[in-house]
């Protein structure tokens, strides 16, 4: 049985290139006119270098210094095979980056084999482009602090083609739109130098990942944060405030295969994929919404913290605490061993709200190594069908403070309080505690380092059970919508 089928049971061609460009080619790169004299509809800032051809763009890149802004006129540009837009040894500074941008957001369409090829560059921003190339856009490990912002990614729909691969430390991928892939391959991968390195401190925020329809059982992730040989490397990535819609190319919408990362405040809606800690240790999954999908949060590895998440109407399990065929990964193990599932140790699952899933929290029995020293505490689990808990291995798990409600069976949870938590849906559809709820101030443990709830509001000294801390104030954070992410987001 393939992975897609098992998980469900258990819980256009290359784009045609266009040669034309907008506007006549000038003899040299023109300076953008003073403020107030820009052509109608243009959004390039005053004082930037405005170019009207790929030749002018290459010349302007060669002259760029820290703080330079280069704007390419709107149009379709077919980048010749063997002659990409080379950016070599171009270095801005952290406070004065070099910016290469489209005249207007999405107005420059880059077709051909490649677009930009970076080497040995730092403090550089690429903004506003529509990438339609036929090979992966690579950000290599000899670069630093590269930002890709407000771009549209719909590369050629070629089997096995990954669209964006980031290997440069402290890079930022923000406010981009990734959409429209139907074949094997990922939208965004984070890796690093050599065979086991990871780019350090990558920030992925406010992106829209949508409409990946690859029907296979593996290999269509919107975000893949590492691969198995890199699992033990601490990456320190932050993946936050991204929206995933119809992410159906893989059971893993966010696939974590490295260590020391934070996955927070993302919204996954109407998708086959969920959040999966597949390899690695010491990752934190906090304050995410997973709504009306097939997979929730699935966990392998050690010392993870899963807190303040809200999962609703998942056709499988809301949260899966996995089992293993290896106890722990270690440096020097064989490739076959490294690909194995690491049985969870010391994983904390706390203060989550799981509603109307087929199973709220489950484990796995098809691998022999159970979780050890894990805790499932102060979660709010509610459904009117199915069962709330199905955990085949109990000896390695501590339970306390969980509230159950609804017509669903309790399952084999060893301890829970069955009481109506008195939830009510807000304008955003999220069900939160109301006055007088027995979940208020009912947590059985303290949670250092969990200062805020799902809504971004302060937790009391004694927390409420579930992801929501009762408050009469308007939530600071809500599920994301398409207007809050992507190229035109604030």
> What are the φ/ψ torsions at residue 392 (nearest 5 degrees)?
-65, -30
pLDDT of amino acid 21: 32
Q: Which of 43-57, 293-307, 376-390, 430-444 has the lowest mean pLDDT?
A: 43-57
More confidently predicted of 11 and 135: 135
Task: Mention every residue, 6+ apart, whose C-beta is less than 8 A from residue 331.
Answer: 232
pLDDT of amino acid 6: 38
pLDDT of amino acid 31: 41
Q: What is the pTM of this model?
A: 0.91
The per-residue pLDDT for range 308-349, each reduced to its tens digit, is 999 999 999 999 999 999 999 988 888 888 888 999 999 999
Q: Which domains does the chain have, with CATH numbers?
A: 15-156 (no CATH), 161-490 (2.160.20.10)
pLDDT of amino acid 234: 98
pLDDT of amino acid 4: 55
The per-residue pLDDT for range 198-230, each reduced to its tens digit, is 999 999 999 999 999 999 888 999 999 999 999
Task: Mention every residue, 6+ apart, whose C-beta is less than 8 A from residue 439.
Answer: 380, 403, 421, 422, 433, 464, 465, 466, 470
Q: Tell whether the model's pLDDT for residue 272 goes beyond 90.
A: yes
Taking alpha carbons only, the member of 458, 381, 456 closest to residue 415 is: 381
Q: How crowded is the C-beta side of 263, counted as CA atoms within 13 Å?
A: 31
pLDDT of amino acid 352: 98
| Average of per-residue pLDDT values in the chain | 91
Per the listing, tokens 């095979």 go with 81
Q: Tell whether the model's pLDDT for residue 5 goes beyond 90.
A: no
Q: Residues 474-484: what's their mean pLDDT?
A: 97
pLDDT of amino acid 96: 97
CB 3 within 8 A of CB 217: yes
By CB atoms closer than 10 A (0-12, 13-18, 19+), residue 217 is middle
Percent of the chain surpassing pLDDT 90: 86
Q: Tell whether the model's pLDDT for residue 152 goes beyond 50.
A: yes
Q: Tell whether the model's pLDDT for residue 419 goes beyond 60.
A: yes
Q: Tell whether the model's pLDDT for residue 390 goes beyond 60.
A: yes
The per-residue pLDDT for range 81-129, each reduced to its tens digit, is 999 999 999 999 999 999 999 999 999 999 999 999 999 999 999 999 9
By CB atoms closer than 10 A (0-12, 13-18, 19+), residue 129 is buried
Q: Residues 421-438: what's their mean pLDDT?
A: 97
DSSP element (H, E) containing 4: helix 3-10
3-state secondary structure of 349: strand
pLDDT of amino acid 18: 32
> What are the φ/ψ torsions at residue 306 (nearest 5 degrees)?
-120, 100
Q: Residues 131-138: what's their mean pLDDT?
A: 98
3-state secondary structure of 86: strand
The per-residue pLDDT for range 13-56, each reduced to its tens digit, is 333 333 333 332 333 344 433 333 334 444 555 569 999 999 99
For residue 415, name the pLDDT band (cuts at 50, 70, 90).
confident
Going through 154-232 in order, the beta strands assigned E by DSSP cover 164-166, 172-174, 177-181, 188-190, 203-205, 208-212, 223-225
> What are the φ/ψ torsions at residue 408 (nearest 5 degrees)?
-65, 150
pLDDT of amino acid 19: 32
Q: Tell whether the model's pLDDT for residue 306 goes beyond 90.
A: yes
């Amino acid at each position: 049985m393939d992975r897609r089928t098992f998980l469900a049971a258990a819980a256009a061609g290359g784009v045609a290139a266009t040669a034309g460009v907008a506007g006549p080619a000038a003899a040299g790169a023109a300076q953008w006119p003073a403020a107030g004299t820009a052509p109608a509809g243009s959004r390039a800032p005053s004082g930037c270098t405005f170019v009207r051809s790929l030749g002018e763009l290459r010349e302007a890149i060669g002259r760029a210094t820290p703080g330079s802004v280069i704007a390419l006129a709107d149009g379709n540009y077919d980048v010749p095979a063997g002659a990409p837009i080379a950016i070599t040894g171009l270095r801005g500074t952290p406070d004065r980056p070099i910016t290469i941008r489209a005249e207007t957001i999405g107005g420059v369409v880059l077709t051909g084999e490649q677009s930009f090829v970076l080497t040995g560059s730092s403090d550089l921003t690429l903004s506003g482009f529509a990438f339609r190339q036929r090979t992966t856009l690579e950000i290599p490990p000899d670069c630093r602090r590269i930002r890709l912002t407000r771009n549209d990614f719909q590369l050629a729909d070629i089997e096995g083609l990954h669209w964006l691969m980031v290997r440069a430390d402290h890079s930022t991928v923000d406010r981009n739109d990734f959409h429209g892939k139907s074949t094997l391959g990922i939208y965004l991968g984070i890796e690093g130098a050599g065979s086991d390195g990871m780019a350090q401190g990558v920030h992925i925020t406010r992106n829209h990942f949508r409409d990946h329809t690859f029907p296979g059982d593996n290999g269509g992730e919107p975000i893949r944060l590492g691969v198995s040989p890199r699992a033990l490397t601490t990456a320190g990535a932050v993946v936050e405030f991204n929206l995933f819609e119809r992410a159906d190319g893989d059971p893993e919408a966010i696939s974590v295969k490295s260590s020391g990362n934070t996955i927070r405040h993302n919204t996954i809606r109407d998708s086959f994929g969920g959040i999966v800690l597949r390899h690695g240790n010491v990752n934190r999954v906090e304050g995410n919404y997973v709504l009306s999908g097939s997979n929730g949060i699935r966990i392998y590895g050690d010392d993870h913290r899963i807190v303040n998440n809200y999962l609703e109407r998942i056709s499988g399990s809301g949260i899966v605490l996995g089992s293993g065929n290896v106890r722990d990964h270690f440096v020097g193990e064989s490739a076959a061993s490294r690909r194995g599932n690491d049985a969870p140790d010391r994983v904390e699952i706390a203060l989550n709200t799981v509603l109307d899933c087929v199973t709220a929290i489950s484990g796995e029995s098809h691998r022999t190594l159970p979780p050890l020293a894990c805790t499932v505490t102060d979660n709010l689990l509610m459904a009117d069908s199915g069962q709330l808990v199905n955990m085949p291995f109990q000896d390695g798990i501590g339970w306390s403070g969980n509230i159950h409600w609804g017509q669903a069976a309790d399952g084999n949870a060893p301890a829970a309080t069955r009481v109506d938590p008195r939830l009510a849906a807000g304008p955003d559809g999220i069900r939160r505690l109301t006055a007088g709820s027995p979940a208020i101030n009912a947590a059985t443990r303290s949670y250092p380092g969990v200062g805020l709830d799902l809504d971004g509001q302060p937790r009391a000294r004694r927390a409420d059970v579930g992801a929501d801390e009762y408050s009469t104030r308007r939530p600071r954070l809500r599920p994301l919508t398409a207007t809050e992410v992507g190229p035109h987001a604030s």
